Amino acid sequence: MNTETTAAPVAKRVPAERTHHGDTVIDDYAWLATKDDPETIAYLTAENSFTEQSTARLGTLRETLFNETKGRTKETDLSVPTRKNGYWYYTRTVEGQQYGIHCRRAAQDGETDPPMPDDGTPIPGEQILLDGNALAEGHDFFSMGAFDISPDGRWLAYSTDFDGDERFTLRVKDLSTDEVLDDEVPDTFYGSAWSADGSTLFYLTVDESWRPYRVWRHVVGTAADTDEIVYQEDDERFWVGVELTRSEKFILIDAHSKVTSEVRVIPAANPTGAPAVIAPRRQGVDYSVEHHGHRFLILHNDGAEDFALAYTSADAPGDWVPMIDHAPGTRLEAVDAFANHIVVSLRTAGLTGIQVLPVGSTEAYDIDFPEPLYSVGLDSNPEYQTNSIRLHYASLITPDSIFDYDLVTRTMALRKRKPVLGDFDPAGYEQHRDWALADDGTRVPISLVCRAGTPRDGSAPCVLYGYGSYEASMDPWFSIPRLSLLDRGVVFAVVHIRGGGEMGRRWYETGKMLSKKNTFTDFVAAARHVVKAGWTSTDRLVARGGSAGGLLMGAVANLAPDAFAGIVAQVPFVDPLNSILDPSLPLTVTEWEEWGNPLADPEVYAYMKSYSPYENVAPVDYPAILAVTSLNDTRVLYHEPAKWIARLRATAPQGSYLLKTEMGAGHGGPSGRYNSWKEEAFVAAWILDRFGIAV
């Protein structure tokens, strides 16, 4: 194979000047932000060609990795059916098809576990609700936003995106006739809710900054231009969501910023009613609402850093009556109400958990799980009148598993474990919890997985993954594509750095705003630790992260370029200062409570400038860097990694930098399972090449 490549593209320099708080900065590559400029597209296309030529020798390895994932995956499969109002709902996948097929069939009297063949044979009485493959036909990209069935089972509200920009077109399908109505609403957002009688659909639209800010009311069978605004949020820090409670009694309208929330309710039986506020917003008070009988359950942080549970009257919301007191170190994350039980999702000591409080009892109990590292949470549980809940469970070595837990007998039954074809045996792998020591003495947890018997002498290659923002927790998860790395001797490690939520609300608070650098130094400390502990060596360590985790990658590249042999930054937020200084860009104002407001505060400006990857590129020896982005990404705009790579090439030209742009996708990369596997194979092959592994 010809491995010769052309020279890397050189981005022209068109200096753009900006001054804030007396500081003037020159941005040579600001022109790349003009998406509709032919020169921008030509430059990105040239970068793609250069990346393809530079990695052409890895083509066979990429194909091998793709085929390994494909060969381990049961391509024709079936989700565990979920019962709701007389129907079993499920999704099928078919070998050779990119997308799932959403189906239902009527439940028979007394049927608790319907026969559902997963070998592709026809299922008697099946009704296809939506076939993603048919919807995607003729489009390079396809994603679904809403998929919402009315309480009476007649109407399906669904929305589609064919560009990756997360602007969805909403439609309504009559499931009694399989007819898609003329009702069509463009430019909607995720989230919807039905009235109790199915006559009215609530949905969301965004403003020019891609912030969901309006809730609309649509009467089925009418034109979209007759829809009415139910609620509009004018504070640009706040996003809005809408949903129907599990009890199907109330429409919830949730307005929330990064640190403050306010919830309104509309009786589902009176969809034209005015929204009523549960509790007026107070800066810094974050609460969520769940309906349960005569009361609303309130999960809140008012005087409770790791949250507490209370309730208030559903008829006349007022004072909050305590139910579960605040317990420092145990972060209450969600509450789900069922007729006879309240279920709380929580985390403690870095692990997720489930706590059950039977109605009429003051004694809550925890559900036990066997592994030292795992992730557990509620799965699909649409029925309110039930004594059983469905759980999703996984670990670094246990494939995704669906359990039904009997809340009365306190017993658990495995319904399905994701098949892994071939010779996969969990006993052939090990998972470990290790701890790094940060510069300030904080112990930072690390979750690791590797083949059983992997030596601890520094000879094993390692991928170190991190995120560390928005209180998002990177809990242990199972991955079929990851097996291809593990089976080649690679250790995979997840660093649970500050800025995430793994160790409670304070873990988040000490990794944001003017403490954001803790996120980066925690990751570097973990990189040093895995080397010192013998898991790997510096020249066999590759860091990986995406989105805000891509900011992490850019920051640690500047902070400790000697600590890594390679860095993968996917849809990376590497130009945060320039982006957050521009309120016209998507998400900027809502982000000020996460990063600070550099427009208004010179201290925030100086602090962000001191860690922003793009601002701090230096003439040093960087590790090899692969940046992957998408042209239609509305969360992290494509020009951030494009500018970053251009500046790296100009400032430290001795390094190896690649940029790959998906020209028809969004924040999540290419759509369709096979396309996603190919994308992962591309990244994995690049990583293995850094380790000198070519087969």
Percent of the chain having pLDDT more than 90? Answer: 92
Is the residue at 190 inside a domain?
yes
Whether residues 46 and 118 fall in one domain = no
Sign of CA dihedral 502, 507, 511, 517: negative
Sign of CA dihedral 12, 13, 18, 21: positive
pLDDT confidence of residue 5 = 56
Q: By the 8 A CB rule, do 499 and 456 touch?
A: no
Q: By the 8 A CB rule, do 374 and 476 touch?
A: yes
Average pLDDT over residues 137-161: 96
Whether residues 186 and 278 fall in one domain = yes
pLDDT confidence of residue 409 = 95
Q: DSSP assignment of 351-363, as one string?
A: EEEEEEEETT-S-
At 154, which CATH number? 2.130.10.120
pLDDT band at 182 (very low <50, low <70, confident <90, very high): very high
Whether residues 556 and 607 fall in one domain = yes
Counting Cβ atoms within 10 Å, is residue 692 exposed (0-12), middle (13-18) or buried (19+)?
exposed
Instruction: Tell me the two tokens of residue 103.
Output: 């189906």
Is the residue at 592 inside a domain?
yes
pLDDT confidence of residue 356 = 97
Q: By the 8 A CB rule, do 55 and 7 touch?
A: no
Give me the half-sphere count of Cα atoms (radius 13 Å) on the Cβ side of residue 395: 20
Catalytic residue at 584? no
Whether residues 121 and 103 fall in one domain = yes
Is the residue at 24 inside a domain?
no
Whether residues 151 and 103 fall in one domain = no
Q: How many CB atoms lie within 10 A of CB 673?
A: 17
Euclidean distance between CA atoms 553 and 520, whole angstroms: 8
- Of 236, 268, 285, the position where a domain reaches its end is 285
Whether residues 55 and 97 fall in one domain = no
Catalytic residue at 667? yes
- Of 261, 285, 309, the position where a domain reaches its end is 285
User: In degrees rounded to 5, what are phi and psi of residue 184?
Assistant: -155, 125
Instruction: Tell me the two tokens of residue 543.
Output: 């860091």
User: What are 308's strand-pairing partners?
Assistant: 300
Whether residues 97 and 187 fall in one domain = no
pLDDT digits (tens, 9 = 90+) for 143-152: 999 999 999 9
Number of domains in the chain: 3
pLDDT band at 2 (very low <50, low <70, confident <90, very high): very low
Catalytic residue at 257? no
Domain residues for the domain of 607 are 38-71+423-690
Whether residues 265 and 280 fall in one domain = yes
pLDDT digits (tens, 9 = 90+) for 211-226: 999 999 999 999 999 9
Q: By the 8 A CB rule, do 9 and 591 touch?
A: no
Whether residues 657 and 681 fall in one domain = yes
pLDDT digits (tens, 9 = 90+) for 258-284: 999 999 999 999 999 999 999 999 999
Is the residue at 311 inside a domain?
no
Whether residues 93 and 228 fall in one domain = no
pLDDT tops 70 at residue 521 = yes
User: What are 291's strand-pairing partners?
Assistant: 296
Is the residue at 539 inside a domain?
yes
pLDDT digits (tens, 9 = 90+) for 482-514: 999 999 999 999 999 999 999 999 999 999 999
Using only C-alpha atoms, what is the Rg of the chain? 25
Is the residue at 362 inside a domain?
no
Q: What average pLDDT does the chain have? A: 95
Considering 159, 547, 579, 612, which one is annotated as catalytic?
547
**Locus of tokens 């640009």:** 236
pLDDT confidence of residue 215 = 98
pLDDT tops 70 at residue 131 = yes
Considering 292, 401, 667, 671, which one is annotated as catalytic?
667
If DSSP codes are grouped into helix, strand and coil, which group holds residue 206? strand
Average pLDDT over residues 393-402: 98
- Of 228, 252, 285, the position where a domain reaches its end is 285
Is the residue at 11 inside a domain?
no
Instruction: Tell me the two tokens of residue 147.
Output: 């998929």
Is the residue at 91 inside a domain?
yes
Average pLDDT over residues 345-363: 93
Euclidean distance between CA atoms 506 and 227, whole angstroms: 43
Nearest to 404 by CA among 387, 427, 423: 387
pLDDT digits (tens, 9 = 90+) for 12-32: 999 999 999 999 999 999 999
Whether residues 55 and 164 fall in one domain = no
User: What are 378's strand-pairing partners?
Assistant: 391
At 607, which CATH number? 3.40.50.1820
Whether residues 224 and 192 fall in one domain = yes
